[in-house]
Homo-oligomer: A and B are copies of this chain.
């Protein structure tokens, strides 16, 4: 019966990741401890190495997990908005609300990917693909909007080096570069606001953070040119 051992292995891999996320939530990346995980599992510490070859590999798994979860939350919010017959602007707003909600529910995971980098850790290339999942949703929305009503913004001329980058971001989407540039602004604004809120920089500045976020996202929807 091939798969009995394999299934147990998968379960333990997942269980270790779950405990690791718990630790992350309790004390941040620096308090992620293989020995503590082993203790939680009633295992000897060296046994963990059967599953993750090092602490850094476990960290990588956590990062990938976080990107995927946040990306999935965005995708789901969008899909659900589509189902409810929403237009691209409303979908954009729904997605940003979902981003904020996910971050609020998983502050440690959010901090892991959008906070200060873990010192001494260099993310391997495996993290790239999951990281693009969320931005992909946002670019997709610009594209949809552009197809429905041509977007255009009379902006300042964009330097050549930046234009090249913008082309790479959404090569064949047809979305004008000025709009893409503002799309980046919106993305940064959303993440910036979430970070400010989670990291305490709105403390004693803005009381109703939810209302504030929505208001800002409405503004950004106008700014980028959603109808």
A residues touching B (Cβ–Cβ < 8 Å)? 27-28, 30-31, 111-112, 114-120, 123, 128, 155-156, 158-159, 161-162, 164-165, 169, 181-182, 184-185, 188-189, 191-193, 195-196, 199-201, 204-208, 211-212, 215-216, 218-220, 223
Contacts and interface: CB of A to CB of B under 8 A. Distances in A.
Contacts of A117: 111, 199-200
A162 B116 contact: no
B223 A27 contact: no
A93 to B, nearest CB: 13
The A interface, classified by DSSP as helix, strand, loop or mixed, is: helix
A122 to B, nearest CB: 10
Given A181-B215, A185-B216, 16 more contacts: A27-B120, A31-B119, A114-B201, A115-B116, A156-B219, A161-B208, A162-B215, A165-B205, A182-B219, A184-B216, A185-B220, A189-B189, A192-B192, A192-B193, A195-B195, A223-B223
B196 A188 contact: yes
A206 B116 contact: no
A213 to B, nearest CB: 11
A195 B193 CA distance: 12
Contacts of A196: 188, 191
A134 to B, nearest CB: 11
B155 A219 contact: yes
Contacts of A200: 117, 123
A46 B47 CA distance: 38
A211 B116 contact: no
A195 B199 CA distance: 12
Contacts of A158: 215
A79 to B, nearest CB: 25
B119 A162 contact: no
A194 to B, nearest CB: 9
